[in-house]
Each structure stands twice: as C-alpha cells, then as structure tokens.
Amino acid sequence: MFDNAVHPFDARGVAKRFRHAAIFGALESLEDGETMRFVNDHDPLPLLGQIQQRYGNQVTIDYVAREPGNIVIDFRIQLGAGAEAAPAAAVAGAGSCGGGNGCGCSGG
C-alpha cells in the first residue's frame, strides 16, 4: 500500500560535508510510496547520478522547480520497481554542480 506522504528535506540547512550522507540516510528511511521533497540552492546533478547508480529505479526523481537559486526535487520510493539502473541520459550534464554555496559535489 502506498503512503503518499511527502517529507520535506531542506539541504540548504545541512553542512556541505554532511549533505550527501544525510540525503542517503533520509532516502533509506522512507517507506515504499513515500516522497522526500528536496530543496536546494543549486541543481545537484552529481548527486542525482549517485542516487540513480545506488538505487536504480527504486527512487524516482521529479523536478518540482528548477530555476536559479530554487531547486525542488521530489524523490519517490518505489520498491517494486527493482534496482535496475536508470538510463544515463536522465542525468545529462552530470559533473560538478558548481554550487559554490551548495553541496560541494564534484565530478572530478
């Protein structure tokens, strides 16, 4: 049974060095059908690639807002979807997210 609950996660309030670990921990605490609404000040393309590599189709990624300084992404858990990796094209442009005040992710 799907929960349909949406849980907010504002990454802007998490220290850069802890962000990815906190995001993975939050995702892993969700139940099937739940959604984490992620808010950030930059587009975390490397993180999205890591999520797709780690969880495959079990986590869907849907942008709610995608404008400079305001990124909102819904991560929905779908455990029945299997862990096959999502197409690489879904994370086009993955590399450094360039978020100077952001997560500090880097493609290299």
Q: What is the pLDDT along the chain (108 residues), one digit of tens a residue?
A: 445 789 999 999 999 999 999 999 999 999 999 999 999 999 999 999 999 999 999 999 999 999 999 999 999 999 887 655 444 333 333 333 444 334 444 433
pTM: 0.73
Q: Which residues contact 30 (CB under 8 A, 6 or more apart)?
A: 7, 36, 75, 77
**Is the CB of residue 63 less than 8 Å from the CB of residue 39?**
no
Give a yes or no: residue 30 inside a domain: yes
The answer as to whether 102 is a domain residue is no
- Examine residue 62 and state whether it is found in any structural domain, yes or no: yes
Secondary structure of residue 79 in the 3-state scheme: helix
Residue 108 lies in a domain: no
SS3 for 81? Answer: helix
CB contact at 8 A, 86 and 60: no
Answer yes or no: is 104 within a domain.
no
Alpha helices in 37-80 (DSSP H): 45-55
Residue 46 is part of a domain; what is its CATH number?
Answer: 3.30.110.40
Please indicate, yes or no, if residue 15 is contained in any of the structural domains.
Answer: yes
Domain span at 83: 6-91
Is 51 within a domain? yes
Terminal CA-to-CA distance of the chain, rounded, Å? 41
Q: Domain tally for the chain?
A: 1
Whether 47 is covered by a domain: the verdict is yes
